[in-house]
Structure 1
């Protein structure tokens, strides 16, 4: 027979501290030596027309208002998802109006927040074929130069696959998928046109193109010829893009101190910088 709770026991229960809620597995922080720099707070800003930035000092996240819904590009780290949605609200938009989330590369610093963002907005996640494979597992691909870091992130079970050159249309905006492999074999950049009245500009949100890896990885190894060849394809694709405004996935990449670049030939310069860095890395491995 169960004893009835006494008045004193009820008072004790009421006075007891509330049990902490279980942490959200999709926003559990990933912390590295760069995290504070990557997630340095920045106010949301308009880039041009209906294109905005809702990310951070070291990681860009773009938002496009198409008139028929919103498109988000990249998701930063897992713990960044609430701040991204807060920035969307600060611009006067509703997160539930985000229809698509586009992924540049399946690394924790750019894709870590996508699972939480997709859950909280109901948006469809879009990536290239190889990027989609990694997003679904939450782990870097076996041929990724950074696989040695074994950097896992929340998996994204449902991903719409888009191929190089295919277009995604929503409202008044058409975004083209631009395969720019190298940094990862599945890296995808995104291009579209934005207008202010009669003045229009070509905007590129570029995946990383820098040759980063663990110290024991050798780009010069015969087994990694395919990776070096992928870099060449990605660099050539980036050089060829119409590019009035360049937004790089890392906000401070190649001198983009204002979070994006408007210099003539910015995409071409970005590709040449990648070529130079890769050549320097391969030369250093021969010493």
Structure 2
């Protein structure tokens, strides 16, 4: 399937450019355990993570509209019930990460949790006009049963505790999520990191956007947030951007310990800073439009 140039999969700059071109939103990917009660159930191009418990499950991100059938099949293949999902957490409200929420919610009855800025987009289904990628964003079916979370709020479900960390910049409502997973007596910190890339549609600017003048400051702060998190295992919203597949390749030999990398979040932040620098440099070049026209 030809990758659509929509949402944050439109293109990547700098360090993400090559890997993004190689990753199709719906590339086939078998589900697999990451660590303890944490499982990867997304596609080859967009991450979706299931956190399981006897009290019900939490699903972090779902992928684009056509990903619903894959995510459902992956969850069932692992032996879990989609109907036991109690919460669906969103990283940011672009179609490639949130387009399948409606279908997963219909099957599970789950409540959708996101930042207030993302909830507004999810509820009306219309892209945020302040988003520098706006002309290339696609409407989504409106999502029901949503709840806005606070920065630093921890979501509890039985033994599960997942914390929201606002990481805006890529979008106004960007949110990363953290929790702990235990396996063989070892507890690790898992980070589901939202996209940190500074992107704008062709002819528009990420910096100097009058509808989102804080975008640069937000993404800089979000990069620092991710770098500072306790982070043993990283799953990025785009799996290749966080090096997930390189670690997955070692799983057969090392077991789930292959996913542990204390430098993963730091490296993710370094790449994001490089992308931001390239974006700002390109936008400062002569002839670049001075303002967005959203």
TM range (shorter): 0.7 to 0.9
Match of 2:275 in 1: 277
Alignment gaps of 5+ in structure 1? 1-28
Give the corresponding residue for 1:76: 63
List runs of 5+ in structure 2 lacking aligned partners: 11-22, 249-258, 286-294
Q: Does 1:32 align with 2:19?
A: no
Higher mean C-alpha displacement, 118-127 vs 263-272: 263-272
Distance in 1 (alpha carbons) for counterparts of 2:176 and 2:32: 21
Give distance in 2, aligned partners of 1:264 and 1:167: 23
Counterpart for residue 215 of structure 2: 227
The structure with the largest alpha-carbon Rg is 1
More deviation, 213-222/134-143: 213-222
Tell me, yes or no, if the aligned pair for 2:227 and 2:269 is still in contact at 8 Å. Answer: yes
Structure 1: distance between partners of 2:240 and 2:52 = 24
Question: Structure 1 residues 42 and 147 mapped into 2: Cα distance closer, same or farther (>3 Å)?
Answer: same
The CA deviation at 1:84 is 0.7
Count the aligned residue pairs. Answer: 259
Please say if residues 128 and 188 of structure 1, whose CA atoms lie closer than 8 Å, have aligned partners that are also in contact.
yes
Please tell me whether residue 137 in structure 1 is matched to residue 137 in structure 2.
no
Offset, 1:62: 0.2
How far apart, CA to CA, are the structure 1 residues paired with 2:238 and 2:127?
18
Tell me which moved more, 233-242 or 103-112.
233-242
Q: Is the 8 A contact 1:78 1:154 kept in 2?
A: no
- Post-superposition shift, 1:222? 6.4
Would you say 1:257 and 2:255 are equivalent positions?
no
Q: What residue is the counterpart of 1:115 in the other structure?
A: 102
1:182 to 169, 186, 189: 169
Aligned-partner Cα distance in 1 for 2:265–2:157: 25
Shift of 1:189: 0.5
- TM-score norm. by structure 1 comes to 0.85
Q: CA deviation at 1:259?
A: 7.1
Considering Cα pairs closer than 8 Å and 6+ residues apart, tell me whether 1 or 2 has the greater RCO. Answer: 2
Deviation at 1:101, TM superposition (A): 0.4
- 1:213 corresponds in structure 2 to 200
Q: CA RMSD in A?
A: 2.1
- 2:124/2:143 contact within 8 Å kept: yes
Alpha carbons of structure 1 residues 110 and 30: separation in structure 2 relative to 1, 3 Å: farther
